[in-house]
Structures are given as structure tokens and as C-alpha cells.
Amino acid sequence: MDPMHLYEPEAYDPRWPDSHWAATVELPPPVGPLTGESRTDVAVIGAGYAGLSAARELARRGLSVTVVDAAQPGWGASGRNGGFCCMGGSKLSDAQIARRFGLPAARAFRRFQREAVEHVAETLQTEGIDADQGPWGEYLLAHRPSAYRALVAGATELRDIYDEAPRLIPREELAGHGISPHGFHGAMLNPVGFPLHPLKYALGLARAAQAAGAVLHGDSAVTGMMPDGTGWRMVTAQGVLRARRVLIATNGYSREDLPGWIGGRLMPVISAIFVTRPLTEAERDAQGWTTRNMSFDTRDLLHYFRLLPDNRFMFGMRGGLSARPRALERLHDEAEQHLAALFPAWAGIEVERHWSGLACLTGSLAPYAGPVPGMEGVFAALGWHGNGVAAASLTGHRIASEIAQGGAGKDATLPEVMRRIPPRLPFPAFRRRALGVTYRLLSLKDGPLPR
């Protein structure tokens, strides 16, 4: 195992995963590696939503930008996620954020999340990216009666404190929304957010960044980074890149030493998804599930799912601790059992593809976007806690102005909640073991699946 990565090498295999998304796009010809010596104003490490959004904006501002990725643009979580373009980004509750940062900061963070969703919708439109955008609105489904009571209380808070307009749906009204009440005890509908084809969006962003003037290189893992006069020198297998400023946008795929500051501050987690064969109308009716809106449940170890435009059903969950093929197979089997428990009419339905990827938590349970301490001109944007489609995109876009202005704290458009340096996790060498214990405790807290 590469000591600079938290998981086994399979998690970082640079080939495209066998995902539904990769199977339903025409993959562009690979972008070539960085070779020889080159110089750029800004180097972006990582070509996911964060890096590509930053590159597009930096190039539009007239800076020379070079993006390097260990695989290809969109290969990371950005090209393989569930496609929920939704609010989120932190694992802290709104109440915890308000306690820790104050109410104005908590409000600003929720405003940022709403703006992030709108930013993606706007980018799709202005860049002419057809990413199979689905209907607006996201259902949060209560997995037990007490969870619905908590949703009722939470909705009042969202209306009164955050000026939002969630809608509560008691259990007996779920069927009217195309949601089966089996195993669900009511829901809250957040009108903000929409589903999309994540890889079409990522590839569209890559094209947009290139069109704005950014240079993209694939198969170019940065393995070292050192000071170089007034800037930085980055080393890949075949090239050297010098830049005045650098953005680290490597999220769950980060190396522990790039830069050293990152070591032990992140907790990459495996998320697994599968997609069934297309469901017939009769099968959808049999389960009572016809909504195409994004849905997830109130469990700590949550499930997320949605009916795709072509009637395939996508189902995802977290929980794995190893990227070894057999361990992933077990995780995928478990995910299929969870589908069968939650959607009994579809038990045993043919699964066409399953795949997984790395999302990323931080030691503060909030994302970080800002300067890397002690490294003049180096910035980082990461830690979306499994909700980066919108948050990483807007953060990349906004941090570009801070990078362009060249300085720490010179931009006030990123919320304070994302500006606190995440602490190093205790005993980082034992992170995966601690995650295993956490998963077991959360699973007990979540309780059994419905029968």
C-alpha cells in the first residue's frame, strides 16, 4: 500500500470506473500528461468540480492556468457521484454551526449552499452543458416516527431562522408524491436542488475551462512540491510545473504529503452506488415509487437514491472500510440488501453496474477553503462531506478571485464556516479503524432496516 494514500491502490486506479455515468457518455480523448518544464501563473492540482471551476474562473480573469490530474478530468468523485446537486457540505447540524460560529455565520453558510446550487444551474446554462438536469426539489425521508418529529421541528427553524421554505409531508401524503410509505414515516421537501448526470457536468466544466484558456493535463500525479523562488515547483512523472500560486483541489483522493500540511487532517470515506436495469411502469407502480426527485433518508449512515431519466434506479450508501475488490463486493451486496429492505418490490432486481469512490470529511466536520498556512501562495479547497456537486463548484469559482488577488483573506465571499483550518485528527494512523467503530455505532443508532 502506498503510505501516502489512506486506502489500497485500487481506490486510486486511474482507469475510468465501470460506472453508469462513464457508460452513458462519449468519453473525450484523454488529455495528455505534463511533460518537460513549464511555467504558469496558477497551478491547480485536481481536476474535479473544485479545480475545474477555479480554473475556468481564473482563466476568464486572464491568468495562465494549468490543471494537473493524476487520472483524467472528472475521474475522481466528480465523475462518479450520485448527481445530487443539493445543499450541504458540512457534517455539523445547523444548530451546531450556529453555536460554534454564531447565527449570522450559520445563516451565511446556508445562503452559500443555496447559491451553490443556483451557480451550477447557471453554469450548465451559460456553458451549454447538457447534463440531464432533473426536477427541482429534494426529499428527506424520515426513517422512523421520531425522525419525522425532528423534521417538523427542523422545518420551523429553517423557516423562522434561515428564511427557507421547506414543505412537510406526513406519511399518509407520501403516495401523492410518488413515494412509497414502506419504511418511511413522512418527509421534508427542500425546493432547492436538482439531479444531474455528474460526469456530463464534470466533462462540460473541463471543456469550459479549456475554452476559457486553461491548460489541462491528465496522467500527471503530482508527487512533490517545493518552494521555488517566489513560487512553487511541482513534480510529476514526466514533467515539472512552476507556478506563482497553487490550488490544492484533491479532496478524497489527496496524498498525505501534498502538501505535508494536509496529512492527518482529512478522512476520506468510501461511498458505493449501484444502478438497476430500467424498471417497467408496472414495477415502479408495484413499489409505489414514481418520483424522479432526489431522495435520501434521515439515517446517520444515510441511503441516497433516485429514479434516473431512463427509469433505472440509482441507490447509494456509505460504509466500506477497504477498497479491495472483495471488500467492495461485500459492500455492494450489503447495499443490494438495503435496497431490498427499503424497496421490497424490487428485491433481487438485476443490477447493471456498481462502483464506488472517495468522498471526504475533515477534522472540523466542515469544508475548508483558503490559504494553506505557512505556504505563501498555496490554497486548498476540500472536505465537502459527501455533498460537493454544488459546494465544490461554487467554492472553486469563488476562491479563484482570492487566488487572483493573490492573498490570504482578500476575499469575503466564502463563508466563515469554511475558513477555519481543520485540525489534525487524533491518531491519524488509526483513522480507518476509528471509522469502523464509528460506522458500527452509527448503524446501531440508526436501528434496523424495515421488514
Ligand X SMILES: Cc1cc2nc3c(=O)[nH]c(=O)nc-3n(C[C@H](O)[C@H](O)[C@H](O)COP(=O)(O)OP(=O)(O)OC[C@H]3O[C@@H](n4cnc5c(N)ncnc54)[C@H](O)[C@@H]3O)c2cc1C
Chain residues that interact with ligand X, rule: CB under 6 A: 45-51, 68-71, 75-78, 80-84, 86, 221-222, 249-255, 258, 271, 273, 316, 356-359, 382, 384, 386-389, 392
Please tell me the distance from the alpha carbon of residue 155 to that of residue 158, in angstroms, as a whole number.
5
- Residue for grid cell 517545493: 226
Strands (E), 125-218: 138-141, 167-170, 186-190, 194-195, 215-217
Which CB sits closer to ligand X, 188 or 380? 380
Minimum CB separation from ligand X for residue 280, in Å? 25
Please tell me the distance from the alpha carbon of residue 407 to that of residue 58, in angstroms, as a whole number.
14
Minimum CB separation from ligand X for residue 192, in Å? 12
SS3 343: coil
Minimum CB separation from ligand X for residue 171, in Å? 25
SS3 283: helix
Minimum CB separation from ligand X for residue 377, in Å? 18
Which CB sits closer to ligand X, 7 or 253? 253
Please tell me the distance from the alpha carbon of residue 52 to that of residue 363, in angstroms, as a whole number.
25
Q: What share of the chain is helix, strand, coil (3-state, %, to 5)?
A: 35, 20, 40
Minimum CB separation from ligand X for residue 85, in Å? 7
Minimum CB separation from ligand X for residue 446, in Å? 19
Minimum CB separation from ligand X for residue 251, in Å? 3
- Residue for grid cell 438536469: 133
* Cα–Cα distances in angstroms (integers) from residue 395 to residues 42, 87, 367, 370, 432, in the given order: 16, 13, 10, 10, 28
Closest CA to 354 of 7, 15, 22, 6: 22
Please tell me the distance from the alpha carbon of residue 348 to that of residue 180, in angstroms, as a whole number.
18
Q: Are 134 and 309 in contact (CB under 8 A)?
A: yes
Alpha carbon 345 to chain centroid, angstroms: 30
Which CB sits closer to ligand X, 148 or 298? 298
Q: Are 213 and 59 in contact (CB under 8 A)?
A: yes
Which CB sits closer to ligand X, 134 or 231? 134
Minimum CB separation from ligand X for residue 281, in Å? 26
Which CB sits closer to ligand X, 97 or 328? 328
Report angle CA 147, 148, 154 to the nearest 5 degrees.
Answer: 90
Q: Residue 314 forms beta bridges with which residues?
A: 275, 306
Which CB sits closer to ligand X, 386 or 415? 386
Minimum CB separation from ligand X for residue 39, in Å? 18
Which CB sits closer to ligand X, 171 or 330? 330
- Count of C-beta atoms within a 10 Å radius of residue 445: 10
Which CB sits closer to ligand X, 33 or 183? 33
**Cell digits for 133?**
438536469
Please tell me the distance from the alpha carbon of residue 261 to that of residue 278, in angstroms, as a whole number.
46
Which CB sits closer to ligand X, 76 or 371? 76
The alpha carbons of the chain give a radius of gyration, in whole angstroms, of 21
Which CB sits closer to ligand X, 148 or 414? 414
Minimum CB separation from ligand X for residue 320, in Å? 10
Please tell me the distance from the alpha carbon of residue 254 to that of residue 248, in angstroms, as a whole number.
9
